[in-house]
Structure 1
Amino acid sequence: MTAAVFNHEGPWTEEEYLALGETQQRVELFDGSLHVTPAPTPRHQNISGELRAALRAPVREAGLHVLEAVNVRLRPGRIPIPDLVITGPIDFDELNVEAGDVRLVCEIISPSNASTDKVLKMHYYAAAGIEWYLLVEQDSGTMHLYRRRGGHYTEQSVTRPGDLLVLTEPVKATIRPEDLVP
């Protein structure tokens, strides 16, 4: 992948991006530019796995799916890889999950790219019409739940250790921050 990335000239098309295939790094496409980040830390992966495990049964009961680190096509040329998504029915053999199929998107805030999760991706997810956005802090497991209002998100709740996040949409679930962190 390195040679393909560094020898590329001009903006990246969606087709060129998808032709990279699976990579060791997380490679996202934002309006012709690639955003490359190293593999997540073990702490990050633990939080993602615990959150997926906590959501698995409620998501199945609702007839939905919970997936980690999949391509989400927000619009042509804009494909981030969120840490976790809850979707409606999808084609599991497609390269991308379409934004219209995503009910909730979750990012686990990494110190190296906090502004990407808190500003850039938040804006892009809202613009794509994804109703719910969950941000999780790595150090404490504190969860910030946002709901889309028009073209932006408004914070619905902040759940700190000792508290309980109670989701009523898109699934009914309860999650304790301290259950997410190692």
Structure 2
Amino acid sequence: MTSAIFTNGRPLTEPEFLAIGETPERIELFDGSLYVSPGPTPIHQHVSTRLAVRLIPAVEEAGLHLHEAVNLRLRPDRIPIADLVITTDIDYYELVIDSSAARLVCEIISPSNSTTDRVLKMSYYAEAGIPWYLLVDPRTGELRLYGISDGEYVLHATAEPGVPLQLTDPVRVAIDPAELLPPQ
């Protein structure tokens, strides 16, 4: 992951960040700095799509919404792009989703930013009070579900290929990681 700040050397504000508009690059705002990462790998996108397809019926049954690769405002100077987010009702025409609407956020670990997903984003999502954090490792197929407790995430459940993850909140669904991985 690469960090950059505009040439004037001061932190970027949220309005300046949003003024960048849509770009082919994956640009996130962390505490006034821009973080630019390469586009997702084919395995990342395969897992993301398969997971979304698996979640959609349960999300709709719960009266919630599923979003892929969206700007998620954790606070005014902190807007990551979450791989998947389950939310309550939102305004679909806004540039960002406020974290108060998020019920579960999922990150799929990429080789270029594994520390960001495992440490930085996990900490930021917990600080924002998002109830559930799902971390997916496409190399091993492991799913790790964390629940918020006293402002920090605590491991709630794990799953590996052949051993499904049983989600009961915010949606009810069993996910076998083997179903998310590409054919070997």
Q: TM-score normalised by the shorter chain: which range applies?
A: over 0.9
CA RMSD of aligned residues (A): 1.3
What pairs up with 1:92-103 in 2 under 5 angstroms?
A: 92-103=92-103
Alignment match, 2:145:
145
Residue pairs, 1:45-56, within 5 angstroms: 45-56=45-56
| Matching of residue 18 in structure 1 with residue 23 in structure 2 | no
The CA distance in 2 between the partners of 1:131 and 1:15, in whole Å, is: 27
Structure-1 residue corresponding to 2:71 = 71
TM-score, with length taken from structure 1? 0.95
AA aligned opposite 1:145: L
Contact 1:140 1:178 (C-alpha < 8 Å) held by counterparts: no
Identity of aligned residues (%): 56
- One-letter amino acid matched to 2:92: F
**Alignment length (residue pairs):** 179
Shift of 1:128: 0.3
In 1, Cα distance between the equivalents of 2:12 and 2:173?
39
On the 8 A contact 1:11/1:32 being kept in 2, the answer is yes
- Report the 3-state secondary structure (helix = DSSP H, G, I; strand = E; otherwise coil) of the residue aligned with 1:82: strand
| TM-score, normalization by structure 2 | 0.94
Which residue matches 1:117?
117
Give the stretch that moved more between structures: 100-109 or 5-14: 5-14
8 Å CA contact 2:6, 2:12 repeated in 1: no
Which structure's residues are more often helix, by fraction?
Answer: 1
Query: Which residue is equivalent to 2:127?
Result: 127
Q: Which runs of no fewer than 5 residues in structure 1 stay unpaired?
A: none
Equivalent AA in structure 2 for residue 38 of structure 1: P
Q: CA deviation at 1:5?
A: 6.5
SS at match of 1:50: helix
Report the counterpart of residue 154 of structure 2 in structure 1.
154
Q: Are the aligned partners of 1:99 and 1:128 in contact in 2 as well (CA < 8 Å)?
A: yes
Question: 1:59-80, CA deviations, whole angstroms, 9 ceiling, x for partnerless residues?
Answer: 0011000110000000111000
**Contact 1:43-1:138 within 8 A present in 2 as well:** yes
Letter in 2 for 1:79: I
Distance 1:64 1:6 in 2: 37
Higher strand proportion: 2
Partner residue in 1 for 2:166: 166
CA distance in 2 between counterparts of 1:153 and 1:92 reads: 28
Give the Cα–Cα distance (whole angstroms) in 2 for the partners of residues 40 and 103 of structure 1: 24
Question: Is the 1:140–1:177 contact (alpha carbons within 8 Å) kept by the matching residues of 2?
Answer: no
Task: Give the Cα–Cα distance (whole angstroms) in 2 for the partners of residues 180 and 150 of structure 1.
Answer: 32
Q: Distance in 2 between matches of 1:8 and 1:101?
A: 34
Post-superposition shift, 1:8?
5.0
